[in-house]
Amino acid sequence: DAGVIQSPRHEVTEMGQEVTLRCKPISGHDYLFWYRQTMMRGLELLIYFNNNVPIDDSGMPEDRFSAKMPNASFSTLKIQPSEPRDSAVYFCASSSPTGGITGELFFGEGSRLTVL
Amino acid sequence: AQSVTQPDIHITVSEGASLELRCNYSYGATPYLFWYVQSPGQGLQLLLKYFSGDTLVQGIKGFEAEFKRSQSSFNLRKPSVHWSDAAEYFCAGMDSSYKLIFGSGTRLLVRP
């Protein structure tokens, strides 16, 4: 079975440009999470969805960040305009509670973003 | 505030030696607790999880962890470390809101 698929794996862009990161969760999973990993702040939960609906976006750093999940098999995280401090590895993860919370998140390999 | 703390940034052990990575949690009720491992350039992989019941849980790759309510701890152990275990290890906690909160991670280095 395919795991969580993220694209692009690497992105280098200039300050002010729009960045779009993409995620395809594991088929059948109804929870999707976006995390950001930096040396300074570790792994931060940005936002998560359940059945395509955003449940908690309190971790989204500011209005420059937005996330969507138009259907069960696709999500995007957009940064507009990007800034150098947005440089990080962005992870997408999906999960499927069965009869309750199982808690196992399956992670993609991440998208490494560098903003110059 | 709910949090998970990993007090050790780096741990170095010799191959074949035993390992214990520390994790402390701060939650109002007993949280769900997890250990994940991240190899360089990779995503995170679940090693083991604790929800309730037996406080000693077994995971993959020979790892185990023990939940100790009195110490608010969930330490990860392995009796004999292999060079391939060198990675970063994250403890995480989840409450009923289903938000998984990670600790800051412990980087494990293995000496030949």
* Adjacent-strand bridge partners of B110: B13
- What is the pLDDT, as a whole number, of residue B1? 66
Per-residue burial over A56-71, b if 16 or more Cβ lie within 10 Å, else e, is beebbeeeebebebee
Tell me the mean pLDDT in the region B18-36.
90
Nearest CA in chain A to B41: A109
What pLDDT shows up at residue A98? 60
Among candidates B34, B99, B102 on the partner chain, residue whose Cβ is nearest the Cβ of A42:
B102
In B, minimum Cα distance to A9 occurs at B41
Interface contact flag, A91 B43, Cβ < 8 Å: yes
Confidence tier at A100 by pLDDT (50, 70, 90):
very low
* Per-residue pLDDT reduced to its tens digit, B44-101: 999 999 988 889 999 999 999 999 999 999 999 999 999 999 999 999 998 777 778 8
Over range A36-40, report the average pLDDT.
Answer: 92
Q: Give strand ranges (E) for A8-115.
A: 10-13, 19-24, 31-38, 42-50, 53-56, 65-71, 74-79, 88-95, 106-107, 111-115
Per the CB < 8 A criterion, the answer to whether B85 and B5 are in contact is no
Test B32 with A101 for CB contact under 8 angstroms: yes
Nearest CA-CA partner of B47 in B31, B59, B55, B39: B59
Q: What is the mean pLDDT of residues A78-97?
A: 93
Average pLDDT for A88-112: 82
